[in-house]
């Protein structure tokens, strides 16, 4: 579940911190299954965040076209 785009700055800070934490886990000895699961979750979340950002961008473009306002 992805939080609403209105809280994107909070979400970005959380995700950035989480990814930094996951990256630091290479210094910690974990079972290979755990590392694989963490990597898979990170990849899935990254894909989901990119898809959500693209969806928001498309909605913004559609709204600009609909309202005939300049696109940012």
pLDDT band at residue 70 using 50, 70 and 90 as cut-offs: low
Distance of CA 69 to the CA centre of its chain: 28
CA-wise closest residue to 14 among 65, 49, 57, 39: 49
Kindly report the pTM of this predicted structure.
Answer: 0.50
pLDDT one-digit tens code per residue, 36-61: 998 899 899 889 888 988 888 888 87
The answer to whether the beta carbons of residues 2 and 52 sit under 8 Å apart is yes
The answer to whether the beta carbons of residues 48 and 41 sit under 8 Å apart is no
């Amino acid at each position: 579940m992805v939080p609403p785009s209105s809280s994107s700055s909070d979400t970005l800070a959380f995700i950035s911190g989480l990814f930094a934490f996951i990256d630091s886990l290479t210094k910690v000895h974990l079972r290979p299954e755990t590392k694989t699961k963490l990597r898979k979750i990170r990849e899935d979340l990254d894909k989901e965040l990119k898809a959500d950002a693209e969806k928001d961008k498309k909605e913004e473009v559609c709204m600009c076209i609909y309202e005939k306002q300049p696109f940012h």
